Structure 1
Amino acid sequence: MKDAVQWVRSLIFVGQIYIMMGVLGILFFPWALISRRGALAACKTWCWWVRWTARWMVGLKTEVRGTPPTDEVVVAGKHQSFLDIILIFASVPSGKFIMKRELMWAPVIGQYGLRLGCVPVNRGKRSAAIKRMVVDVAKGKQHPGQLIIYPQGTRIAPGVKAPYKVGTAVLYEELKQDCVPVAANVGLFWPRKGIMRKPGTAVVEFLPRIEAGLSRREFLATLEEIIETKSNALMREAGFDPDAVD
């Protein structure tokens, strides 16, 4: 019975955040059309709304630890669900993403993503998109800010192991920017699929930066060790043993 009530509360929560996405998208659209600041304001307002309503609608608190970067860096995060996107973006002043090209046509998300300076990529053509981004940054076409990327390429359920892909290392090397790793346990409460949202405290933690200058191989090994070690610690703190997953 308790789970059934939580599922209904979760359904209402999920429904209202997407309704609010549309409402805020329309309200902020004139400002977003003429200024990137309008797009940032809309997205950050929605992130605040999601965190606020999650707390009292489904009992899900959110916490951001560490020091979010304010300079131009690559932010490489553990990706377990949509919630880590919300928390990381809300914590940095000028975040932007590499996003799937099909999202360009999604209502609200696509239009605002482009206004934020996100770079759309085709499936299977990520290397070409990375090369284009490096060129655009060099020419000053890209808005300055924090490039948020997920090294494993997709959402990974807690405890599941997946390789770290080379794209993040290429960006780190070519852009010659520091990288700030981010650990997370959010998938324990807001899973990558389904409606249920569980009560508890979802955490993302900004970790000490990896300075520019490492080789691709050394950087990728260091990044994986840092993110996985801390993410596992955060999951254990929440009562989940990642090593127990087959």
Structure 2
Amino acid sequence: MQFFRSMVFNVLMYVWMGVLGIVFAPWAIASPRGARKACDVYARQTLWLLHRIVGLRTEVRGTPPTGQVLLAAKHQSFLDILLIWSAIPRGFFIMKSVLRYAPVLGQYALRLGCIPVHRGKRAEAVRRMLAEVRSGDRKGGQLLIYPQGTRVAPGARASYKVGTYALYEQLGQPCHPVATNVGIFWPRRGMLRRPGLGVVEFLEPIPPGLDRATFMALMEERIESGSNRLMEEAGFPVAPTAGLPGESVAAAAAKAAVRDGA
């Protein structure tokens, strides 16, 4: 029965994306405001369908930022994108270049100002974005990046890429880590959606100006420990790993540096 409910939801989710994409197309072509409104409606109603059909409730915790900041989020499935988008007023994403060719989704993402990045050419995309900000062609907002570069299944490990630090350093903005547990209920692969409570949590921001080692250690510790806590709360056993034995020495040093005003 749960698989059938999941199938119904998945069909409606994609059909509704196509319908809204067509209905809002004239406004989206005329103004990015139209594209943003379409995405707002889609996220809100998709989350409602998810609750009603699948039995998967969602919750946003912490304080979503409203100013010009960098968001560094754990990425487990499409659901964390929907939740983060619904929580922030002016979000835009760094996305894989191939997504620009996805029907509806790709065209609307470009209209919103999302930044397509080719593998190995992230620095070029960052330079272009910063130039647009300086020239006034791009308005500020909440820039979201997934530091691990891909969806990571609950309990799996993947390295954190230094590209996030490049953005953090060049933008000179606070970085807000974001944790999640949604992969337990909405896996990165497969059609099954499970009932429960999917959460994204905006964590304590990291102030600008830290060096690379301090920033990377602090960001990873906050995202991983926050996500592990949310997954354990949902009943998913998180095995200790060599990379995160609760709190690494590097993360502890990073916290001390922040307290000391580094």
TM-score, normalised to structure 2's length? 0.89
Deviation of the 1:138 alpha carbon: 2.1
CA distance in 1, matches of 2:204, 2:60: 14
The secondary structure found in structure 2 opposite 1:243 is coil
Alignment length (residue pairs): 242
RMSD: 1.4
Query: What whole-Å deviation, never above 9, does each CA across 1:13-64 have from its counterpart, x for those lacking one?
Result: 0111010001011111111111111111100100011110010101100000
Deviation of the 1:136 alpha carbon: 2.1
Aligned to 1:19: 15
Query: What whole-Å deviation, never above 9, does each CA across 1:123-172 have from its counterpart, x for those lacking one?
Result: 22222212222222222222321101100000000011111100111000
1:140 maps onto 2:126 in alignment: no
1:150 maps onto 2:154 in alignment: no
Deviation of the 1:244 alpha carbon: 6.7
Task: Give the unaligned 5+ runs of structure 2.
Answer: 243-262
1:63 maps onto 2:59 in alignment: yes
Aligned to 1:95: 91
32, 39, 51: which one aligns with 2:35: 39
Q: Bigger shift: 87-96 or 210-219?
A: 210-219
Letter in 1 for 2:142: Q
Letter in 1 for 2:194: K
CA distance in 2, matches of 1:110, 1:175: 25
TM-score, normalised to structure 1's length? 0.95
1:77 touches 1:151 (CA, 8 Å); kept in 2?
Answer: yes
1:48 maps onto 2:44 in alignment: yes
177, 191, 194: which one aligns with 2:173: 177
Aligned to 1:222: 218
6, 12, 17: which one aligns with 1:10: 6
207, 210, 215: which one aligns with 2:206: 210
CA distance in 1, matches of 2:93, 2:36: 13
Task: Give the unaligned 5+ runs of structure 1.
Answer: none
1:70 touches 1:92 (CA, 8 Å); kept in 2?
Answer: yes
User: Where has structure 1 moved over 6 Å in runs of 4 or more?
Assistant: none
The secondary structure found in structure 2 opposite 1:181 is strand
CA distance in 2, matches of 1:137, 1:166: 22
Q: Bigger shift: 159-168 or 125-134?
A: 125-134
